[in-house]
Every structure is written in structure tokens, then in C-alpha cells.
Structure 1
Amino acid sequence: MLSHFDWITEPAGWIALLTLVALELVLGVDNVIFISILAGKLPHEDQQRARTTGIAMAVITRVLLLLSLSWVISLEEALFTVPYFNIGISGRDLILLMGGMFLLWKSTHEIHDKLEGKEGQASAKVAANFASVIVQIMLLDIVFSLDSVITAVGMVDELAIMIIAVIVAAGVMIFTAGPLGEFVEKHPTIKILALSFLLLIGFTLIVEGLHQHIPKGYVYFAMGFSVFVEMLNLRVRGTHVEPVNLRDAYKAETSALQPVAAESAFAGTAPAKKMSAKKESSSKTAAAKKAKPASKKK
């Protein structure tokens, strides 16, 4: 094992670092997609802050897990055995199972809301609740961090390389999360596709938790090919077809109030004009009445 930062002078250390950064980026794709979907619920001015906070928390979670390697390794030990299937369930398996089920529930719920839900059905309090979105991101960060950390532990012996790789990958994700989130919000088909990816990832986590390994390459190839086909569709359609408007259950309160405010402003100006017209006509009538007696005296 290389001691401290002696790996800087070794080519093997740099190769290990670059390889691990690439792997962390690939493993972080699903995390970025999930953060972008959740951040999309917030008002536009809070979305970038939510993405940055979510990724920063993912980095902190990964570094803390790396610093507690003995605890991470202990998660591999079976806590109990499922009698009929004879499968030993460890702490890691429980976290993967719960995270996978949460992703399946969340993705299905979001797809239903986008296609058949009521517009603005979520209350303004929920829609604008920055803390609730961050809590959900934090919980899933723990799930996604486990795979990332276990991969790092299996690849590299030097802790410094692991931590640097995690931080570098997170820096790249911070810059890509914003454009990715905006692109997903702009194109409804991409948003549904991203939610479908979360369904796939949730299913993969559950299968992994049951000790049935699915090679990550298969999952990422399916996701990449789907994105490639959708990019072709977007290029072919261009601007000829108007995209559908997905229903927004988390519409911000301000956007809902804007038409009302405009209506009330218009309604407010109309009575004002009517009142001024009435005052004008009454003053003319009074002037005419005063003029009549004067003409009689003459």
C-alpha cells in the first residue's frame, strides 16, 4: 500500500485515480437523475441550490463511509437468513432493498402525477418545501453511496485516492446536474424516460439486495441506447410538433396566483374607470342645473 501521498509520484496511482473517477461518474449518473427529478419540484430559483446541496451531501456521505471502512465491511455480514430461499440478508442488502422499493414507489407516483394527476394538486407548502426535498435526496444519497464506496474499496488500497476520486467526480456532477435538470424539464418525453430509468434502477437495487447480480454494463447500455433513440426522435421532430404539457402537481403557488392577480388588477382598473366616468357625468349634470336658473332670470 502506498503511504499517505507517495502515490503522486507513481504512475499506478494516477491510473487508479483516473479509473476510479470514471467509475464514480458512471455510478453517479442515477444519483444525478434522481436529484434533478426531485429538484424540479421546487421553484426555479431554488432548483440549482437543491442540486448543489444534494450532490454536496452525496460527497459528504461517501467520504464518511470511506472513513469508516470497517463499518462498511461489516455491512456485508448476514444479519438473518430467509428460510425458504436460504438467502442471508446483510445490512447492505436491507439498505438496497429499502432504497429500491422507495425508488419504485416514487417513480410510479411521479409518472402517475405527470400523466393523470391533477394540476397543482400538491399544496403550496409541499411544493415550496426545500427541506423535504433535501431529506429525500439525502436518504437516497446513502443508498447510491454504498455501491460507490464498495466499488472504491474493491479497486484501490489508498484512502486518499478514494476521497480525491469522489470529490473530483462530484465536481463534474455539480456542473452537469444543472443542464441535465433543465433539459429534462424542457422536454416532457425525456422526463418520463428519466422516471423510467429510476424504475429500472429501483428494480436493479432490489435484485442486488436479493444477491442476484446484474452487470452494471447491461443497465447503463439500456439507458444509453434509450437516450440515443430519444435524441434521434427529438432531432427528427424538431419544432414541427408542439410537446405535450405534463401535469405539474408541484406547481409553485406564485405561478397559480399570477392569473388571479392579473384578473384582480384588471378588475380593479375597470371600476376605477367607471367611478371616474360617473363623477364626470355628475359634475356635468350639476353644471347644467346651475346654468338653467341663470337663463330663467335673464
Structure 2
Amino acid sequence: MVVPAVPPTRYDVAVIGAGPVGLACALEIQRRGLSVCVLDKGALVNSLVGYPTNMEFFSTPELLEIGGYPFPTSHYKPHREEALDYYQRVARSEKLPLRLYERVVGLGGELGNFTLTTSRGEVASRFVVVATGFFDVPNLLGVPGEDQPHVSHYYKEPYAHVGQRVIVIGAKNSSAKAALALTRSGAHVTLVVRGAALSESVKYWLRPDLLNRIAEGRITALYHTSVQAIGPDAIELLTPDGPQNLPADYVYALTGYRPDYSLLTALGVATATDAAATPLHDPATFETNRAGVYLAGTVCGGLNTSRWFIENGRHHAQVIAAHLAEQSH
């Protein structure tokens, strides 16, 4: 006997990405009477799960709120753990249908009749919203040894590195925070910077702290220096004085992140030829070149990952939800 295939669950809208902006989109769409589901290849607000322990947000809580829910905090600026709790509570309060740890790998069909292929099956929807951020794809150095277990593109906390020789690669906020925390926890830190100085984007309260630690010799900074290879217990550098082999127990390559362009390609979203490799979309509606597929949040900026963030990207939700409601009538 042939058992008929079970048709995929059908929704009005499938939102890819369960971060703050993805949740904001799902919330606004659901409030307009459309059925919605949220898919993510990782956990709920997966990027925040990967942020450093006790990380402090640059924004104050009211700028991180979604759906009109107040964001309570015991600090002037909320910490990572408070944000995790806040967004999880909003998702539960709104009873948003979540499909976590389910990776989207393809998109078939057309406007009004899409089928998302995932790691667990299929999801049918009339529209698709992509709110995948950029934190899951690091900018690789492209050097031998980068894939070793003692090399990471994500910094979490310093406590495992007491007494160790740690190399931090990068010149922006992530590198500055990691270098300072590691040093204060007893690691011997060398900061490797490709350019002549720290980035101008380093937060104003971090810059003097880091520069003072460098000046007093607690942190070694190597400028105009590039990584050539990473060995099991040393890192090969090219410095202004020539090649240098530096002992290293652990390496943090904090060189930034980028959108998942392979996913965008699989979804049929084209990319502009500008320097930021911006995914094509209408800035008025956020609809992409593929009719019925929308972008929201940081992914809209392509490689310019500082253009959109939670504070301003959350407002994309209302624009997209309004456009989808109009399309549905």
C-alpha cells in the first residue's frame, strides 16, 4: 500500500531568522491577522547566545524593544543575559510558532506559492521574510591553520585562558573588549592589527582603556602586521621588521562577520556589484528582486554590517507587515 505524502504545513509568511528583527517581523505580521512561522538554524536569538558573557549593549533598553513590550533592566544599558530573557519572553507571550535548529537550504515556487526546503522537510508559505543578520559567517583570514581547534572567530569569556599566551587579531570593538577582558583575567595578550592603529569605530570608553594597557606594557600591540599561518603552538606573522614567529596557546581571529550569501543565493536573492555587495531590495518595501521575498535588518546592508542593527532594523518589521497585509487583500 502506498502511503500518501504528508503535505507541508502552510503559512501566509515564513520568517527566516529568529533574532530580534526576525521576531519583530513575525510579531507584526501575526498582529495583522496573517499566519506566520519563524525558522532558525540555531537557537532562539542565536546571535545573542553567541555574544560574550555579560556583554553590555551600546543602546539603551527602549531602543531594543519590539512589539511595544517594555524591556526591564537593572542597568542603564542592558546586558546580554537580560536581552536573551527579554526576547524569549516576547516570543512566548506572542505564541510565535518557532521551528528552531531547522536550516533553510532552498526555496522553490513563486509569489503566493513558495516551498522552503529545510533540514527537516518542507514549509509552504505565500511570502518569505529573510532576517538572518550576519553574525554566523566570520570573515576568514584565509591562512593555513585557521581551522585548528585552538583558533576561534568568536570570543565568549576569558576564564579558560589564565596564564596562557593569547593572540587577538583585529582592531575593532570585539578585539578591544576581548583583549581587555583576557588581560584582566590573567592571560598574556598580543593584539595583532593589520593597519597603523585601532579602528576609529572602537567605542569611546574602550579606546583609552586599551591604549593605556598597551602603553603600560600589559598588552603587546603589533601594528602593520599580518598573519601568514597558524601552527599548533605558534603563529607566523609578517611585521614591519620582517617575519616573526610568536608563541600562541590560543588565537582569537576577531576580524568581523558577513551575511550568509550562500543562503541568499539559494533563496534567489541577487546581489549588487557595489563595494558592500548589497542584496537587491526595494528600500521602500524591503522586497527583493524575487517577488514575495523580503529582507529585514542587518542583512539589508550586505558587507556594510554597521548600517542596520537592532535599534533601527526593528522598524523594518512594521513596513514589511503593512506591505504584506496590502498584498494579501
Quickly name the TM-score band, shorter chain normalised.
Answer: under 0.3
Which entry has the higher C-alpha Rg, 1 or 2?
Answer: 1
- Structure 1 or 2: more helix by fraction: 1
User: What TM-score do the two structures reach when normalised by structure 2?
Assistant: 0.25
Answer 1 or 2: higher relative contact order, Cα 8 Å, separation at least 6. 1
- Structure 1 or 2: more strand by fraction: 2
